[in-house]
């Protein structure tokens, strides 16, 4: 039997609150965009993200977020090349040919806007561009595949089919999620079909993220034992990710985290 998520549905006022949070988060991504270039450290990107956020009276959700060993120490995640997610910004100097994912979540008046984007830096190799393109296309294929009341598993089914068609793999350990007053809440949004995902609906009023992580090689992951956060591909291959916060309206999905200057639907890397 399909399970309903009606208790998580947002009313019109709450939907507008989510729009406001997501619009700020998208603005922040555009502010960071010019700094993703060779010679800039990932720590500098984090510093700019923090200062812009707090200067507008908001809060970075990642900063101090509880972890298995210790809280996350920075304001955003910056994941380079073989890092799948939860990369900690620091002294790494961005180089020509890198692919680099920035994952941002802003808390605006108690509501969370969440998104990520992978940047292709300079003259990247064909494989780097191909895995980035696949992650981007998978995000939009998933958005186009859902409708009010559909199964959550509709997302994973289309993502896995597209990634495997291109010779890539889909990370299963890290998933999308419901988002609103809480950073992470129900429902879980896996990017591969699962039994639970086949039993849950995406009701109108539900807000959630879709954030496929696509690997150039194996789908398997390895978490850094020292910092307790950084997740890399187990085989050292490349990984790319794109994420949007989605509001399921009565008429279909609304993307809340669109940027003005970032890649739009149909973009080619």
What's the per-residue H, E or C state across the chain? CCECCHHHCCCHHHHHHHHHHHHHHHHHHHHHHHHCCCCCEHHHHHHHHHHHHHHCCCEECCCCCCCCCCCCCCCCEEEECCEEECCCCCCCECCCCCEEEEEEEEEECCEEEEEEEEEECCCCCHHHHHHHHHHHHHHHHHHHHCCCCEECHHHHHHHHHHHHHCCCEECCCCCEEECCCCCCEEEEECCCCCCCHHHEEECCCCEEEECCEEECCCCCEEECCCCCCCEEECCCCCEEECEEEEEEECCEEEECCCCCCCCCCCCCC
Which whole number is the average pLDDT over 194-221? 97
Place of tokens 């490349």: 238
Average pLDDT across the chain, whole number:
96
Domain boundaries, the chain: 6-255
**Res. 4: pLDDT tops 80:** no
Q: What is the pLDDT of residue 5?
A: 66
**Residues across the chain:** 269
Q: What confidence category does residue 1 fall into, taking pLDDT thresholds of 50, 70 and 90?
A: very low
Tell me what percent of the residues of the chain surpass a pLDDT of 70. Answer: 98
**Res. 213: pLDDT tops 80:** yes
How far apart (Å, rounded) are the C-alpha atoms in residues 119 and 101? 6
Q: What is the pLDDT of residue 133?
A: 98
Which whole number is the average pLDDT over 69-88? 97
CATH of region 6-255, choose from 3.40.50.1220, 3.40.50.720, 3.90.230.10, 3.20.20.210: 3.90.230.10
How far apart (Å, rounded) are the C-alpha atoms in residues 213 and 236? 15
For the stretch 32-66, pLDDT in tens is 999 999 999 999 999 999 999 999 999 999 999 99
Q: What is the pLDDT of residue 69?
A: 84
Which whole number is the average pLDDT over 170-193? 97
Place of tokens 């680099």: 100
Q: What is the pLDDT of residue 123?
A: 95
**Res. 6: pLDDT tops 80:** no
For the stretch 140-157, pLDDT in tens is 999 999 999 999 999 999
């Amino acid at each position: 039997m399909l399970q309903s998520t009606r208790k998580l549905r947002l009313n019109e006022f709450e939907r507008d609150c989510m729009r406001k949070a997501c619009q700020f988060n998208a603005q922040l991504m555009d502010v960071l965009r010019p700094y993703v270039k060779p010679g800039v450290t990932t720590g500098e990107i984090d510093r700019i993200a923090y200062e812009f956020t707090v200067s507008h009276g908001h809060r970075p959700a990642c900063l101090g977020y509880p972890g298995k060993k210790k809280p996350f120490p920075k304001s955003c995640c910056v994941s380079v090349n073989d890092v799948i997610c939860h990369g900690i910004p620091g002294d790494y100097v961005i180089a020509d040919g890198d692919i680099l994912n920035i994952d941002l979540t802003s808390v605006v008046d108690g509501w969370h806007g969440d998104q990520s984007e992978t940047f292709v830096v300079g003259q990247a190799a064909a494989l780097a561009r191909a895995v980035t393109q696949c992650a981007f296309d998978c995000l939009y294929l998933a958005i186009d595949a859902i409708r009010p009341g559909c199964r959550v598993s509709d997302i994973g089914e289309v993502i896995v089919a597209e990634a495997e068609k291109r010779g890539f793999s889909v990370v299963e350990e890290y998933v999308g999620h419901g988002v609103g007053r809480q950073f992470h809440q129900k429902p879980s949004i896996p990017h591969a079909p699962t039994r639970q995902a086949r039993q849950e609906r995406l009701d109108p009023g539900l807000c959630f993220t879709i954030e496929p992580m696509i690997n150039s090689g194996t789908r398997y992951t390895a978490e850094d034992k020292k910092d307790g956060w950084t997740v890399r591909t187990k085989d050292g291959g490349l990984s790319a990710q794109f994420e949007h916060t989605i509001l399921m309206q009565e008429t279909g999905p609304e993307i809340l985290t669109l940027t003005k200057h970032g890649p739009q639907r149909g973009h080619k890397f």
